[in-house]
Each structure stands twice: as C-alpha cells, then as structure tokens.
Structure 1
C-alpha cells in the first residue's frame, strides 16, 4: 500500500495538475490523442544486436521489428545500468542510478558479505538501496493520478513484499515480485506466487502477453498504461524442441564456426550468435509481442496508443548463460562498455505522422518517464524525473541541447564487468575504474567498438569529463566501493588462469553440444513437451 506521506504528495500533485491548464498547443491536439494509451514493453537481458531490425542474421523477430519500422528508432539508446534492477528503477523514477541509489541488482551482496560468494576482489562492492524508494512518485503513480488504469505483468525485481508493483502505482499486478529470474522455468508449472499455473506446458512469455491483451480489452474504453515486463530472455535459457531444431538447422546452413569464444579482460566472452536455445527463447518473446500488437489492432486502438520497446541491459555474452554476442560492440550485460548498456530503444506515437524514423541523439531509460508524460499531455515533474528529459521534441523533428549521461556501478558484475562509473557527452565516453582510479576515454563516433583508448591523446577532454563525473557523483552522494584488505593477488592470478584453462574449453564444448543433432536437455524439453511424439 502507498504510504501516507506519498499519498498526500500525490494528492497535491493531482490538484496542481488539474489547475495547471493545458500546455501551449494542447488545445489544438486531436481529441483522441488527449489521453493516449501507453504500452511499455521491456525485455530482460536482450542485447542491441538480438533483433533482426538491429542487425542479427540469426535471430528472427518480425513482431518487434514492426514496432521499429512503424515508430522511431533511437540508434544511441541506452539502459541506465548494465544490470537489471538499477535500470528498471530509472525507468520508474526518471533518475540515474547514483541518484535513486539502486546501483546493483537487488539481492547482490556488498561489503564484506561479498567474500561469502567465494570472491577474491581488490574492492568490496558498495552498499545500495534494496527497494524502490517510497519517496519517489513513480511513472505508474503519475499515470494513475491522471486518470489512467495501470497494469503490470512480468518481472519486477524492485524490492520485496511492500515494494511490489501494486505498492508503486499499478492497479493490477500479474507475476511481479522480488525475484528477477523465472523461477520454475519458462514452461508451466512455474514457481511464481503472483502468477497462477493454468495449463501445463504453457509458455511464460505468451502467458504474460495474453494477460496484457486481456487487460487491454477490458480497459479499451478508458485510457490505460500497460507495462509488459518479460522475464525473457533472462536465464535459464529454454525453448521448445521445434524452435531449437529450426535454429540448429539455420546455424548449420550458415556454417558453424570452429570457435565461438575469446578471452575478454575477466571472463571468456561469446563472439558469435549461434545458440539455438537462446534463439528460440528470443522468438517466443517475439511471438508474445505479436499477440499484444495484434490485439491492439483488433481493438481499433493503434492510432491512439503509444508503444515503447526496450531492454534493461546488454545481452549476456559473458557469465550467466553466455547466451549471445553483442558484436561489433564490446562486452555485454554487466560490462562498462557499449555492449553492456546500448539497447534497442523504440518509441511509436502514431499520430505524429512526420516523426523521424531514426534519431542519433544519445538517450537513456531515465528519459521514458518525462517522455510519456509529455506525449500524454501531463505536466512534467522535473523535480521527480531529475535526470530524464522528454524526447517528444525529437519525435516532432525538433532538437535538444547537448547533455551528459551518467552511469554508476560500484560493483563487480557476475558477467565480468568491473566497478566503474561512466560519463557520455557528445562523441566522448569516459570510464572511471574504481580499482585503481584509472580512466579510459573513447571517441564513440570513430570507435564505437571501444578498441582504441585515447586519454593520452586528449588529456584536457579526459580531465574535464572526469571532473564533471566526480561533481555529479558528489552532488547525489554516490557510494563508492572500498579496498578489501583480504585481497590475495596470487590467488586472483590462479583464478584468472583457471578461467582460461578450464572455463573457456568447457564453454566451447557446451556450445558444440547445443548445436549437435543429438542434443536433448531432458525428456520433456524443460516442460514444453507434454505428450509423446
């Protein structure tokens, strides 16, 4: 339940909005767009290159591609973090991670507790906020305060009981709780107390889409805000035998490479997209998106509905399930490089007939909050979405001033990312590493793959950007990691060598096994096969 103080704040915000009058030009807007519906589709762990429309030659995503082809594609779209919970909190609050305080996935250990994971690191990760702050007025709360029926389905991972979707502005919550992975897998029966098992073998992504479509039909005569937050494509990666075979055969037709990994700075990293299990998981999510888009069309609501699609962090190329590759971008989920934070970022506002098809202005997940308010003709709240800006001017072929974007991850990623903070301004990106206080500077216009570090060539730019980064972090009281006096350098070298000598060959063998014609994970294919052939 929303706490008393937050309820009072929302009450006065609503009064202020009701007396604020229309923004300039609102009186000329078409009646059907005065309160457009909003469908926000958030994928989990989907990389920038995991869609057909963003360059994949292996995965097939015709339905998500539909959103891109009929909307605006932000070619420099970013998640607010390289891991899930911080990024999701930024969407809900309009703030960068250092400001709202959720800087790691909720449940990750920090401080001396980090050592209990069998870790041996130079730093002890910083503490962080473990639930969506109650002092914030979330995007859902503002939509609800302005007459929208609000709906959430899928992954939440923004706090335990008392900080669930229904505690932060959603009228309906289907499947959202404190756990960030699909407990029980992608086929019913799953183990989610917020999602009833109905049909044995039912696909989780399609079920969440069906619940969303049902809500849309029930709410078609009033403005609605539907947030469909897939658990896909987070591990465990699972698919049906049919989809696995389709993509195994496709990999064979393309030509299976001898090697699929190379050694990155910390862990082996996947270099090729040819995992048929992951491809099937991606396609199932795309099928689910199709269900929602088709329902929108059947209800005759397409012209008055904003549709947004994005992901919460980069694709898992290293660590976890080692599922995909983000090449040519470097890194993936958990990493400080572009592969860890660059995302599909699509916005469709169908009444804006002359919207640009592509925008190369750098944008971030914190921008969704003010953008949705703006497109829905709701007064902006800069004191709330302090780091996000409305992208509506860009959709209307107008321009925005240059600005800096900030990331703060004072933690170690399970996927090989290092404790680091980032600033992006214009073509420049500076990464500050907390282990040794060094900086890396990249010119993303010339080197989007981040292969050529140029701080020695541009010392003034590096110094200016680092100073701006430090100023921002200090202004929001950002927490830093601390040195671990128990760090054992000799042990660290041995652990790193084991990743080269043992983990890397094991991953190559697993990749070949997934691509083998005889592959079978278990008798019922993770619960998807409920009858004998």
Structure 2
C-alpha cells in the first residue's frame, strides 16, 4: 500500500513539474518590422487589392491596433525600438545620414551617424536576463563598430535591398524576404533551454520596388481597387513580406511554442506615397500625408500582436500606442527590469495585450521632425484626441480633432486658440525636456533653389533608388 502511494505521488510530480515549468517559462518575443508599409496597405485594414492572408490570419488570432504610431522615418523608429527612448534625445530625428537642402529657409540639425553604444538596448537588457537574441535584416543605426552585434544581438545577419547576391554557399540570387525568413526559421528551430528575442527587419516594401515575375504578372492582371494606386510591384513585394510572416508564425507553431511566444508586427513609418520622380507608390487614404511628414499618414502604422492563450483572438484596440512602448512591454513580459541608468519614454502595453479594454496611464504622444523630407520641419503633439502640428518655417499651427476628423482636413487652430496655445506650450516644454534639436535660419536661403538637395546639380533630382 505504501509503495502504491509513493508511486502515485511520484507519478503526480512527473506530470506536475513539466506543466509548472511551462507555466513559469519566460515567453519568446518576436518583432517583425516592415519598411515603409502604410496603415492602409493590408487586407485586414481594408485594402482589397493587396493580398495579405498570413497577416490577416495573425490579426484574426490576435489583436489589431488601429491607432499605433511610429516615427515619421526609419532610423528614428529603429532608435526608439532599440532604446525605449524618444529619438529626439539622440538627435536621430531623420534617416541616417539624412539629406540636406542647402538653400532652404532653415538649416536642419545634423543627424548623428549611429545609436550610441552607451545605450542599453532591448537585446542587452533581455540578454542579461537569460534570453538568446537574433537580429536579421536592415539595421540603419550605424556601420562598423555600431552594428547589432555591438548592441546586444548575439546572432546577426544584416541585409539591404530586395535581392541577396549569389555566393559560394548560395549559387543563385535569393529574394531578401525569403533569405531573412530562412534564418529566422532556423533560429526558432534551435533547441535551447533559453527563451529567445528575435527581430526580423525587412527591406520590403521600400523603394526601389521589385518582386518576382510571377507575382508581378499576378497583380498586373488583377482587378483594381477604386481610389488606390494598385501598383503590381508594390503588391508583389508586400505578398513576399506576408509569406515571410506566415512562415515565421508556422515555425513557432511547428515547434510547439505558439502559446509561449508573442509575435508583434509593425512598420517603421507610414507609407511612401510618391517618389521624388513623381511615380505613385501607394496611398495612405483616408489618412493625410506620407512618410517624412507628421500627418497621420506619415506616422500611423499597421500593428498586430499574436500570443495564443494570452492575447484574446480577433480583437481590435483603438488605444493610442507607439513603437517606443515595445521596449518596456517586452521587458515586462520577459520578466526583466527596466534600466535605471537611462530614461524610458514608452509605457508597457502588457495589460492592453491581455485585455484590449484596459486604459493606459498616458494621454500624450510627441513627434519631432526638424528636417525637410516630404514636408517642412515641424513638431507635433497628440493629447487625447487632439493633435497639434507646429511648423518651424513660419510658425503656423494646425490643430485637429482626430476623433471627428482622422483625415486632418479641418484646421481648428483659429476656432480653438486656447487649446492650440496650451498644446504648443506643452510641446515646447517636451522639446526642452528631451533636448530636442531645432532648425535655424539659413543665411544661404534662396527661394528659387529651396527644394534643391545637396549634391544635386541644378535641374536634377535624385532618382527613386537614391531615396532613403
């Protein structure tokens, strides 16, 4: 009898211990970052021309954000993802190295060439907490000596462009989305007792556009969506990105890790609507503006999170959030602690992921773009549903009620002067607090040459391949 009792206890322990370990295991964390993907480009955001079945499935199985934000261009967003700090603290408020208009009305601040090594990145923080870390794709935060490998990422494959050239190990060129996915899938499949942090940073859908001949033919023949550019190269490139997301999610599922893995899909800024050559790439409508501006089309992005068993499936969140929030969110979910030696500008979204109705203890977001890009130098603040943009060339203020006017068509600054003044003062105080750098009057200002880019001769424009 005693033997049978001990045997029963032992068997019970054998069954309980793995379950207890599974319940207490730190979750795996994945960021999939698109490049220049607009808020209105995905099927699950209402697009009927582009086809994104895998991202749509990710949204059905998880949470889709409708008011998620990034920086207005790539390097700023990549900075706040890695640091948890607003990019204005580092002066990385434009793509690295930026481009200059030497005869514009204002001289914009010089952009540093890299994210400082002194920053304790998300990978360093979670790596110190027991995570193995992998970074695959575009970095754009510094060259030699400032790569992901110097910023806490243990396994690194950096890439640029949409095709990887043939090598001794790769006899034929390979599409970059497929190349990155192969490495991500292998990273996920590695047997390890450690949880992992993985970031896959795609070049898609950045210009110059290209895709496979099969996808180009498919979308060239497809019926068009009214009011949308329906660019076959853009749609094909997005389909390659979507297939990558599907394979990464499938690898997580096949490894039996779905219920212990958070996947977050984001873009680094709003969509690029028009190349400098004038060719139409995409449309962010109904949102106004595009990459390189502080209108909603330049900063509002698609954002999807999946974590079966933790994030309720098929939900939607209108909570305003921003890419700066990813760092504290992952630190909390990964059961690490935030660094005490550097500021944190984001807030954790962990509670929102578990219950999308949970309010955040924050009502204000800020942006700073003191450069010429697809707009003129400006700063912006959103408090509640009210958004103010301050343009530095002429001091013009634009005030919008995003709840009633998400397309930012009606400037209410003259109708609501007290509110405009209040938000302008709050925006100026924030710039002082983070040490934001401001543009200065340009002694070489020439109205006839104001739009000319440095390095371009009179009458010339940079080609689409030269755009950041």
TM category, shorter: 0.7 to 0.9
From 94, 101, 107, give the equivalent of 2:91: 101
Q: Relative to structure 1, is the Cα distance of residues 491 and 217 closer, same or farther in structure 2, using a 3 angstrom cutoff?
A: closer
Q: Relative to structure 1, is the Cα distance of residues 328 and 303 closer, same or farther in structure 2, using a 3 angstrom cutoff?
A: same
In the alignment, does 2:255 pair up with 1:299? yes
Mapping 1:65-464, distance limit 5 Å: 65-79=56-70, 81-110=71-100, 114-115=101-102, 120-176=103-159, 181-182=160-161, 186-189=162-165, 198-250=170-222, 253-254=223-224, 272-319=228-275, 322-352=280-310, 354=312, 357-381=315-339, 384=342, 386-397=344-355, 398-413=358-373, 416-464=374-422
Q: Relative to structure 1, is the Cα distance of residues 219 and 325 closer, same or farther in structure 2, using a 3 angstrom cutoff?
A: farther
Q: Secondary structure at the match of 2:266?
A: strand
What is the alpha-carbon distance in structure 2 between the residues aligned to residue 280 and residue 376 of structure 1?
Answer: 35
Contact 1:402 1:425 in 2 (8 A): no
* CA-CA distance at 1:285 after TM superposition: 1.0
Q: Secondary structure at the match of 1:327?
A: coil
Q: Secondary structure at the match of 1:343?
A: strand
* CA-CA distance at 1:29 after TM superposition: 8.8
Return 5+ residue gaps in structure 2 as ranges: 1-18, 454-459
What is the alpha-carbon distance in structure 1 between the residues aligned to residue 179 and residue 151 of structure 2?
Answer: 23
Q: Deviation per CA, 1:113-133: give whole Å up to 9, x if none.
A: x42xxxx31111112322112
From 411, 435, 441, give the equivalent of 1:477: 435
Q: Deviation per CA, 1:41-93: give whole Å up to 9, x if none.
A: 000111111111111111101111222111111211000x1110011000111
* CA-CA distance at 1:446 after TM superposition: 0.6
Q: Relative to structure 1, is the Cα distance of residues 220 and 335 closer, same or farther in structure 2, using a 3 angstrom cutoff?
A: same
Return 5+ residue gaps in structure 1 as ranges: 1-27, 258-270, 496-501, 508-533
Contact 2:136 2:200 in 1 (8 A): yes
Partner of 1:510: none
What is the alpha-carbon distance in structure 2 between the residues aligned to residue 61 and residue 391 of structure 1?
Answer: 25
* CA-CA distance at 1:235 after TM superposition: 1.3
Q: Secondary structure at the match of 1:156?
A: coil
* CA-CA distance at 1:344 after TM superposition: 0.9
Q: Relative to structure 1, is the Cα distance of residues 89 and 353 closer, same or farther in structure 2, using a 3 angstrom cutoff?
A: closer
Q: Deviation per CA, 1:161-186: give whole Å up to 9, x if none.
A: 1110000000011125xxxx51xxx2
* CA-CA distance at 1:485 after TM superposition: 2.0
Q: Relative to structure 1, is the Cα distance of residues 359 and 173 closer, same or farther in structure 2, using a 3 angstrom cutoff?
A: same
Contact 2:311 2:353 in 1 (8 A): no
Q: Relative to structure 1, is the Cα distance of residues 69 and 220 closer, same or farther in structure 2, using a 3 angstrom cutoff?
A: farther
Mapping 1:463-502, distance limit 5 Å: 463-492=421-450
Count of residue pairs the alignment pairs up:
435
What is the alpha-carbon distance in structure 2 between the residues aligned to residue 77 and residue 435 of structure 1?
Answer: 28
Q: Which runs of 4+ in 1 moved over 6 A?
A: none
Q: Deviation per CA, 1:272-297: give whole Å up to 9, x if none.
A: 23100111010011111111111111
What is the alpha-carbon distance in structure 2 between the residues aligned to residue 69 and residue 306 of structure 1?
Answer: 15
Q: Relative to structure 1, is the Cα distance of residues 197 and 331 closer, same or farther in structure 2, using a 3 angstrom cutoff?
A: farther
Q: Relative to structure 1, is the Cα distance of residues 275 and 196 closer, same or farther in structure 2, using a 3 angstrom cutoff?
A: farther
Q: Relative to structure 1, is the Cα distance of residues 468 and 356 closer, same or farther in structure 2, using a 3 angstrom cutoff?
A: farther
Contact 1:356 1:396 in 2 (8 A): no
What is the alpha-carbon distance in structure 1 between the residues aligned to residue 418 and residue 242 of structure 2?
Answer: 46
Partner of 1:41: 32
What is the alpha-carbon distance in structure 1 between the residues aligned to residue 391 and residue 198 of structure 2?
Answer: 38
Contact 1:94 1:384 in 2 (8 A): no
Contact 2:229 2:280 in 1 (8 A): no
Q: Relative to structure 1, is the Cα distance of residues 219 and 105 closer, same or farther in structure 2, using a 3 angstrom cutoff?
A: farther
Q: Secondary structure at the match of 1:461?
A: helix
* CA-CA distance at 1:401 after TM superposition: 2.3
Task: Kindly report the root-mean-square deviation, in angstroms, between the aligned alpha carbons of the 2 structures.
Answer: 2.5
Q: Secondary structure at the match of 1:75?
A: strand
What is the alpha-carbon distance in structure 2 between the residues aligned to residue 486 and residue 160 of structure 1?
Answer: 32
